[in-house]
Chains A and B, each alone.
Chain A
Amino acid sequence: MSIRGDVLFCTLEVVMTLRKRGLHPNDSLIAEELRIPLNEVKQLMEEAVKQGFVVKKNDYYDLTEEGLKEVIRHRERFIHDRFVHGDSRWSSGITNWYKHWRQKHGLTRGLLTNFYNMLTELEGRVEDLKPLSEMRPGERGIIVSIACGLGAARRVAEMGLTPGVEVLVTRRAPLRGPIEVEVRDTRVVLGYGLASKIAVKVVRAS
């Protein structure tokens, strides 16, 4: 996978999000969303059309079925690398993702169905999700998912960090040290490794 390939995925995600919002994504809208020059977007979109991920309809782009699959694949790989393994290890060589989640990560069928629903429904780019470990003090976020072992996940939830709850990062120790968050009137400290498996959607300060 080249860097260029990665940027291509981003454009696909943007097309998908804009379509979900009921907009008609064209070159300039995509450029605005991605914050890259217009001529670069034109090149990327040509490439995307050539590979059969998007089709041009009159004045806007739409995802093909293949394009949709590609987005989901990109999103699950992102979540796999970023949250489950917590490093930027390139998960190449995985051809059957469904099987991989089932067998290597022990996800049940029910969980996976919902996981794929979530991937399809997700608005915005998957990159907007951050591991809790990357939040800065003073930032607020909403817990989206907890991707660690069953025992640890239970513990995290019991300490009050359940999906949907808002947390405020109060401080973090140096050198990949633990992260302290304020949640439900108490302060809870989580080790860096654990925090990197908790996906958070950053809440913009109002």
Chain B
Amino acid sequence: MNRSLTIALAGNANVGKSCIFNKLTGLSQVVGNWPGKTVEKVEGTLYFQGYKIRVIDLPGTYSLSAYSAEEVVVRDYLLSREADVVIDVVDASALERNLYLTLQLMELQVPLVIALNQVDMAEKKGLIIDHEELSRLLGVKVIPTIAITGKGLNELLQAVIEVIEKGDQLVPKVPTYGREVEEKINCLEENVKKLEISKKYPPRWLSIKLLERDPLVLEIVSKGEGGAEVVKLADELISELEEVHGESSPIIMAAERYAKIAEIISKAQRIVATPRVKWERIFDYVTTHPVLGYLVLFSVIAGMLSLVFYFGGLLSEVIESYIGGPLIAIIEALLQALPLEVVNVVTRGLVTGFVAGFVIILPFIIPFYVILSILEDTGYLPRAAYLTDSLMHKIGLHGKALLPILLGFGCNVPACLGCRILETDRERYLCGLAVTFVPCAARTVVILGLVGMYVGIIPALSIYLIAFTIIFLVTKLAYKVVPGEPMDLIMEMPPYRKPSLKVVALKTWSKTKSFAAVAFPIIVAGSLVLEMLRIMNLMDPIVSVMKPLTVGLLGLPAEAAVPLIFGFLRKELALIMLAEALGTYNLPLVMTLSQMYVFALVVAIYIPCIATFAALIREFGWNRALLISLTTLVVAMLAGTLAHIALATLGL
């Protein structure tokens, strides 16, 4: 019989953690979200020596403060004590910075085993690490590994089983810091121990976090009985500490940890040679060069967009003709057999939605995930962010937001999913808001097909200009309104690495699966509702209800309400539906030029489409998705009304 075990993988970003995870679990992995958070939860299962082992791949973090959503997730998970063992994946080639997280895991007193990864890279850098000495200093097992080749992974699992069975070397040493800081920690710990909460969390850890002014710990401690006094005491101790050190307490604690690490490193690491120049250096030089770097960036972006859209388009066509077409034919045949009106409507709605999801969404999502994984795994993304940071700052975002914004020009769906590469919740939200205003390919169809064709190319371009201005203004405003501390760019610049195709494929597969699970029901349900409205002849009442808006504010023909609503389903169809609603394809006969302009403008701005809405829900939850969508609607109405008034005043 199998015994069950849960292990969690923790570690910095870019240390090969997800590579280890993929090697361990293969196709068994499931991607989801952590409850209530827009942080990816990845888990898988493996069998080893009669154990059924559940592996949780925790998001990559540098620390366990409450800086990003990821850090909070990792911390909460570790505090829940669900994992029997935590494997800390440490990059041997950057031991000093990596041990920072290790030290915090030790503070938490979780059962720990260390995977000293990329020992080959470290050797190339001239760093020799005595893993036995390191193990002795930290009080836990340290296993050297090379994730990309799978070397050491068996030993790693072996070590995990060993500590589980023997129960020794499970809990690491308690790291101790400088005398002054220790005095404060001990003083606080005495008082924290009296609190109810210390039964749930390690009191020493709570004390350290209080001294660091950790906002979440401050909150939970002050809520409990007697907590207020302890927080007050912590405040006093912090003042004393700050008076001596002259820095704010979070900085003092970080410095203390690094001092401890320096002590460990001096005993366990030897430097034998200076780093050698190799292909990595050349790549690095070219891709961050003030001239060449931008050329490379431009090619990468152009390549990426065309790949996503060329392959996406191709895939989309193939799927439509081989799957969509036959499917619809089968349904049509079925409908003949089922004369019932209601069943007819339901089936048609369901099928339209399903086919739309399959044909439009998946073909673009798959190449997107492939490219994103490659860019992430090689280490190109930080370089792109480095080059574009000053540009993105103009709209209150930073370099990492470039990729999602650019993707938005193709399709808002991958763009929304791409917001995840930003770190803090606040930045993601701002980026998501900006992204939904970017005119995607479908909106371009309407702008060019209507305004470009009948009014002129300059007016068409002016719609883009208005869209950009809106992005600028909305983001600037949101930057001020959205709560939280604005964060400037701060990131690690990892060395370039060869991507593993297997890992890329695994990542793409599991992410696509998880996206489809969230998006499909929403798309299908939305299509169903709209189809029912259409077939049950509910359109006329809607047209008259919308009249004050469409005719009154925007000065459009009343029938324009129909394509505006259906645009929510598929924006590129808005044009065809407009023609159908007005009863003619010769649009200049029934619409003035300024009406066309206003129509295209509104379509270009208001809520992307149902698929984007689904992506927004997945990334930001219902509340924020609705808020973002509502914002786009209001802004679109506002811009349309203003344009209508302006054009009327000008007598156009």
Seen from chain A, the residues whose Cβ lies within 8 Å of a Cβ on chain B are: 108-111, 113-115, 117-118, 145-146, 148-160, 162-165, 171, 173-178, 180, 184-194
Q: Is B109 an interface position by the 8 A CB rule?
A: no
CB of B526 closer than 8 Å to a CB of A:
no
Contact partner of A157 (CB less than 8 A), chosen from B239, B254, B489, is: B254
Given contacts A111-B242, A117-B246, A146-B251, contact A178 B386 (CB under 8 A): yes
CB < 8 Å neighbour of B248 from A150, A158, A164:
A150
Known: A110-B240, A111-B248, A149-B485. A188 touches B490 (CB 8 A): yes
Name the CB-closest residue of B to A111. Answer: B242
Residue contact B246 to A178, C-beta cutoff 8 Å? no
C-beta contact mask, B267-294 vs A, less than 8 Å → 1, else 0? 0000000000000000000001010000
Residue of B290, B389, B390, B493 touching A187 (CB-CB under 8 A): B493
| Main SS class of interface, B | helix
Structural contact, A189 and B95, CB atoms closer than 8 A: no
B165 at the interface (CB under 8 A from A): no
Which residues of chain A come closer than 8 Å to B246, judged between CB atoms? 111, 114-115, 117-118
Beyond the given A157-B255, A165-B258, A173-B386, could you list 13 further A-B residue pairs with CB under 8 A, ordered by the A residue number?
Answer: A110-B241, A111-B243, A150-B250, A153-B251, A158-B254, A159-B492, A160-B100, A173-B390, A189-B385, A189-B491, A191-B399, A192-B389, A194-B488
- Other-chain residue from A114, A162, A173 in contact with B389 (beta carbon distance below 8 A): A173
In the complex with contacts A154-B254, A157-B251, A114-B243 CB distance below 8 A: yes
**Surface stretch bound by A, among B20-28, B60-68, B448-456, B573-581:** B60-68
| Residue B618 at the chain A interface, CB threshold 8 Å | no
Q: Does B213 contact A (CB under 8 A)?
A: yes
Known contacts A110-B239, A173-B389, A194-B490: A159-B62 contact under CB 8 Å: yes
Closest 8 CB pairs of A and B: A157-B254, A114-B246, A110-B243, A191-B489, A194-B488, A191-B488, A154-B250, A110-B239
B245 within 8 Å of A (CB atoms): yes
Tell me if A191 and B398 are in contact (CB < 8 A): yes
Asked if A163 and B242 sit within 8 Å, CB to CB, the answer is no
Is B242 a contact of A188 with CB atoms below 8 Å? no
**Chain B residues positioned under 8 Å from A151 (CB to CB):** 67, 485, 487
- C-alpha gap A189/B67 in the complex (Å): 17
Choose among B258, B387, B485 the residue that contacts A162 (Cβ–Cβ < 8 A): B258
Indicate whether B152 reaches chain A with its CB closer than 8 angstroms.
no
Question: How close is A171's CB to chain B, nearest CB, in angstroms?
Answer: 6
B side interface size, CB within 8 A:
49
| Chain B contacts for A177, CB-based, 8 A | 386-387, 389-390
B485 near A191: Cβ-Cβ < 8 Å: no
> A interface, by DSSP: helix, strand, loop or mixed?
mixed
* 10 residue pairs bridging A and B, Cβ less than 8 Å apart: A152-B488, A154-B212, A154-B250, A154-B251, A158-B100, A158-B254, A159-B492, A184-B96, A185-B94, A186-B492
B136 at the interface (CB under 8 A from A): no
CB-defined contacts of A115 to chain B, threshold 8 Å: 246
Whether A188 contacts B390 by the Cβ 8 Å rule is: no
Question: Are A162 and B95 in touch, CB under 8 angstroms?
Answer: no
Q: Nearest Cβ in chain A — how far from B298, in angstroms?
A: 15
In the complex, the chain A residue whose C-beta lies closest to that of B246 is A114
| Chain A residues in 8 Å Cβ range of B488 | 148, 152, 190-194
Determine if A186 and B97 form an interchain contact, defined as CB atoms under 8 angstroms apart. yes
B389 A153 Cβ-Cβ under 8 A: no
Asked if A152 and B243 sit within 8 Å, CB to CB, the answer is no
* B251 close to A185 (CB less than 8 A): no
A152 and B485 contacting across the interface, CB-CB below 8 Å: yes
